[in-house]
Structure 1
Amino acid sequence: MFPARPDHRTPDPRFWYGVAAALVVLQILVLWAMGRLWICDCGYIRFFEPGVNTAGNSQHLADWYTPSHILHGFLFYWLAHLAFRHRSIAFRFALAMLVEVAWELLENTPMVIEHYRTATMAVGYTGDSILNSVMDSVFMALGFGFAARAPVRLAVAIAVIFEVGVALVIRDNLTLNVLMLVWPMEAIKAWQGAL
């Protein structure tokens, strides 16, 4: 009979999308404070960097690790859906962005850069440009949005295609990257280095 009173305990979805955008701004500011370059020191911007162990890797808009960030979006969507099913998708998106931005900042610390250089195939890795790091977050957001709308079977099929395809092309992918960061294996490193 009476219109429902708005629930002031649940913020408007625009609030959470604003939080996600603010996290990306924070990411830019922290990377800049860490001394990261805005773009590749080569002085130009490519849409896609085809080399893996090149100076341009992790410096341009996209590279062979872009599918990993799209898969972050898939995984973060599914995990947030399981853990926070009762919360809005905007809240879950902001949470996913928090995790992605935290990873992007951690990934560009000297400790993690050095770990990549010694424990993985990324011997020449020097960290991401600010542009590349922000694009990694954008690709995660695109993956999140896709996973929120696509049938699960389609998203799983795309994830498998990404993982297998990238592994065949560069001998690395999200699964191997995580494995080599957490539990480096000489046999995998040797296989990756033989490319």
Structure 2
Amino acid sequence: MSVVATPSSWSPWSRRWLLVALTLFVLQLVVLYAMGRIPICECGYVKLWEGGVNSSGNSQHLSDWYTPSHIIHGFLFYALAWLLFRRALLAARLSFAVLVEAAWEVLENTPMVIDRYRTETMALGYTGDSILNSAMDTIFMALGFFAAARLPIWLTIAIALGFELLTGWIIRDNLTLNVLMLLWPLDAIREWQAALG
């Protein structure tokens, strides 16, 4: 039996929890708009992929080198929700994951965190996310969440490690390094990342 049922077979309670998740997602976008975040890239167009790490288009389009980090968020939030709310419906756990991701997306786009990114991480020109990019970050988190619900644990871990190694090798940044440099910046890592440029 599949872990994730089809939408037509979801119970009324599951549908209610999905509505909660959707409401939290919309609230994230409304708060970002109220904070003055731009809807799309100031360039005036939308790209499927932005490959430049320190470009003005990074964190502005549908996906970029930080998209794998948000998929890993989904893996991690699935595991955390499973540990905390083991008996809860999958849709209720998804709502928890969306709440955590939406809260991070809002916090990440505050002047305090933007300044921290600019001074302590490799994101020297970071000005915050567009609302579109932030929305996609949450959607990619949800995709990671549902993938973790269906995949064997070993495969989920292998994908996460693969994403971390790939982005670490290509752009000298990944979720692990990003969190480390935000919380406990190390000059050696900063210098290694700067050598990419």
Class of the TM-score when normalised by the shorter of the 2 chains: over 0.9
Secondary structure, counterpart of 2:129 in structure 1: coil
In structure 2, how many angstroms separate the alpha carbons of the residues matched to 1:84 and 1:28?
26
Give how far 1:84 is off.
Answer: 1.0
> What is residue 119 of structure 1 aligned with on the other side?
120
| One-letter identity of the residue aligned with 2:189 | I
Give how far 1:92 is off.
Answer: 0.6
TM-score by length of 2: 0.93
Structure 2: any 5+ residue segments left out of the alignment?
1-10
TM-score by length of 1: 0.94
Superposed, 1:1-80 pairs within 5 Å as 12-80=13-81
Give how far 1:87 is off.
Answer: 1.1
In structure 2, how many angstroms separate the alpha carbons of the residues matched to 1:103 and 1:159?
20
* Two-structure CA RMSD over aligned residues (Å): 1.0
Q: Which has the larger radius of gyration?
A: 1
In structure 1, how many angstroms separate the alpha carbons of the residues matched to 2:153 and 2:169?
24
The aligned length equals 186
Secondary structure, counterpart of 2:113 in structure 1: helix
Q: Over residues 102-150 of structure 1, what are the superposed CA-to-partner deviations in whole Å (9 max), with x where a residue is unaligned?
A: 0000000000000000000000000000000000000000000000001
In structure 1, how many angstroms separate the alpha carbons of the residues matched to 2:19 and 2:112?
31
Give how far 1:168 is off.
Answer: 0.3
| One-letter identity of the residue aligned with 1:39 | I
Superposed, 1:1-195 pairs within 5 Å as 12-195=13-196
Moved more, 99-108 or 23-32: 23-32
Give how far 1:88 is off.
Answer: 1.1
Q: Over residues 72-116 of structure 1, what are the superposed CA-to-partner deviations in whole Å (9 max), with x where a residue is unaligned?
A: 000000111111111111111000000000000000000000000
| One-letter identity of the residue aligned with 2:143 | L
In structure 1, how many angstroms separate the alpha carbons of the residues matched to 2:103 and 2:71?
16
Q: Percent identity?
A: 65
Structure 1: any 5+ residue segments left out of the alignment?
1-9
Give how far 1:182 is off.
Answer: 0.8
In structure 2, how many angstroms separate the alpha carbons of the residues matched to 1:85 and 1:160?
25
Runs of 4+ in 1 over 6 A off after TM superposition: none
> What is residue 4 of structure 2 aligned with on the other side?
none
| One-letter identity of the residue aligned with 1:190 | E
Secondary structure, counterpart of 1:148 in structure 2: helix
In structure 2, how many angstroms separate the alpha carbons of the residues matched to 1:64 and 1:154?
21
Give how far 1:11 is off.
Answer: 7.1
| One-letter identity of the residue aligned with 1:30 | V
In structure 2, how many angstroms separate the alpha carbons of the residues matched to 1:181 and 1:140?
20
Give how far 1:37 is off.
Answer: 0.5
